[in-house]
Amino acid sequence: MLNISKDSIEKELPPDAMYSLRTLQTPSGGKRLARILMGFGIITFIILFLPWQQNIHGRGAVTALSPGNRPQTIETAIAGRVSEWRISEGQFVDAGDTIAILSEIREKYFDPQFLDRLREIIHSKEQSLNSKGQKAQALKRQIQSLEEAMRGKIDQAKAKLEGERVRFNNAKNQYERNKKLFEAGNIPLTKFQDIEYKYQGSEADFINAEIEVQRVQAEYLDKINKAESDLNNTLSEQFDTQADLSKLRNEYVNMEVRSQQYYILAPQAGFVVKATVAGIGQTIKEGDALCTIMPLSDDIAVEMYVRAMDVPLLSLGRKVRIEFDGFPALQFSGWPSISVGTFGGTVRVIDYVNTHPGEFRILVTPDSTDTAWPKQLRIGGGTLGWVMLDSVPIWYELWRQLNGFPPSLYKEPEVGTKKDKSAKKSPSTDNPSK
C-alpha cells in the first residue's frame, strides 16, 4: 500500500487477511538468505586481500644427501661360482664382513698351488738374473784385464822397437861411412859385405819390431772385442730375464689380488636389503650384482622434481614443507603456519641439468629450526613437497592461476652463504676512497 493518508486501515484490514497483500511482502527466509549472502560476499571480499604464500610443488622420494650413504649394489670384480653365502637378507653387516665366497671357473686358475708355483718360477728367474749379472761383472773385469795387459804388451813392444830403431840407425850410419870408404878403396870388399849384412839384419829386426807392436795390439783387440760381444749378449739376456721377471711378478700380484676377490666383503656398515643371486652354485660374470646394501646413516634428504619453468625461482636455503607417505597430514600450501603433519626442510642442492624431460631435481635437507623428521623414514619413500616463495594477496594468486602465469618474486633470492656476502662486501671496505 502507498500509505498516502494518515489514516491507517491496518487495524481494520490486516495485510495477512488478503492473499494479494501477502504475496507483495518479502518472505522472512529470503531476507535471511540475503543477509547470509551479503555477509558471505563481504567475507569473501576481505579474504581476497589476505596474504597467500606462493609455492612450487613437486613430488619426490626420500634419499641420502651423500652418494656414499645411498643404497649400494655389491658387484663382483671377477667371474666365479657362488660357493657359500655368509649372510641373509635383512641382516646387518659391518664394514669388511664377508657376504659370500666365490670359487674359480677359469681353467688357468684351477691349480690350488698356482701362487706357490709362480713364486718358484720367480725365484728361479731371480737366480738366473743374478747369475747373468755376475757373468756380466766377470766379463767387465776380463775386458779391463785385457786392456791393461794390452797396454803392458804394447809398451814392451814399443820399448823393443825403440831399441831396434837405435841399432838400426847405428848400423845405417856405419854402413854409409864404410860404403864411402869402400868406394874410395880404403877397406876390402869382405869387410864392407860384412857391415852391409849387419845393416840389413838390423833393418829386418827393426821392421819385425814394428810388426810386433801391431800384432800385439791386434791380438788383444780381438780378445777384447770378443769379451765385449759376450758382455753385450749377457746384458741382453739379463734384460730379457728382467722383463720376464717383471711379467711374472705382475702375474703373481694379479693372482694374489684375484685370490682375495673370492671373498665378497661389505664396503661399509648397513643392512642387506636385496640378494640378486639365488642359491649356491650359480655362475656370475665380472660386474654382476650380487646384493644391495643400505648403509646405516642419518644423512637423510628428499629429492624432489620441479618443472623447468619454476627452476629460476628457486635458490639455496629456500624453506620447504614436506608431506611423507604413510604420515597423515593436512597441508594448506598458502598458509604453511596452519599446516598439520608436514615437516620443514631447506633447499640444499639444485641440479644444473634436467633429470627428466622438463623437470629438474633438487635436494632438500631437514630444517634445524623446525620439527625433526620421523625416525621411521625409509630410503625410497614417496614425498610431496612445497617450496615456499613470497607472499601475495589471494586475489593476485587466483588471477595468476587462472591465466597460467608462473609465481612472482618481489625480491631476488639469496644465493650462497654469509661468507659469500662478506666476500662481496670486502672490496668496498678495503678501498675507503671508493
Q: What is the mean pLDDT of residues 235-243?
A: 92
CATH architecture, range 71-103+263-295? Beta Barrel (2.40)
Whether pLDDT at 361 is above 90: yes
Instruction: Enumerate the CATH 2.40.50.100 domain ranges in the chain, comma separated.
Output: 71-103+263-295
Please tell me the predicted confidence (pLDDT) of residue 21: 56
Whether pLDDT at 8 is above 90: no
Q: What is the mean pLDDT of residues 360-366?
A: 93
Structure-model confidence comparison of residues 25 and 154, the more confident one: 154
Instruction: Enumerate the CATH 1.10.287 domain ranges in the chain, comma separated.
Output: 114-260
Please tell me the predicted confidence (pLDDT) of residue 191: 83
Whether pLDDT at 412 is above 90: no
Please tell me the predicted confidence (pLDDT) of residue 110: 83
Whether pLDDT at 43 is above 90: no
Instruction: State the Cα–Cα distance between residues 180 and 223, nearest whole angstrom.
Output: 50
Please tell me the predicted confidence (pLDDT) of residue 177: 85
Structure-model confidence comparison of residues 270 and 411, the more confident one: 270
Instruction: Enumerate the CATH 2.40.30.170 domain ranges in the chain, comma separated.
Output: 53-66+297-424
Please tell me the predicted confidence (pLDDT) of residue 418: 44
Instruction: State the Cα–Cα distance between residues 196 and 71, nearest whole angstrom.
Output: 113
State the chain's mean pLDDT as an integer: 82
Residue type, 208: N
One of 1.20.950, 2.40.70, 1.10.3470, 1.10.287 is the CATH number of 114-260, namely 1.10.287
Q: For the segment 60-69, what is each residue's pLDDT rounded down to a tens digit?
A: 999 998 888 8
pLDDT above 70: percentage of residues in the chain: 83
Instruction: State the Cα–Cα distance between residues 36 and 33, nearest whole angstrom.
Output: 5
Please tell me the predicted confidence (pLDDT) of residue 421: 43
Neighbours of 433 (CB within 10 A): 3
Whether pLDDT at 414 is above 60: no
pLDDT-wise least confident of 168-177, 179-188, 214-223: 179-188
Please tell me the predicted confidence (pLDDT) of residue 7: 59
Whether pLDDT at 38 is above 60: yes
Whether pLDDT at 431 is above 50: no
Please tell me the predicted confidence (pLDDT) of residue 15: 56
What class is the 53-66+297-424 domain? Answer: mainly beta
Whether pLDDT at 189 is above 60: yes
pLDDT-wise least confident of 144-153, 344-353, 403-412: 403-412
pLDDT-wise least confident of 237-241, 311-315, 380-384, 402-406: 402-406
Q: What is the mean pLDDT of residues 204-217?
A: 88
pLDDT interval class at 130 (50, 70, 90): very high
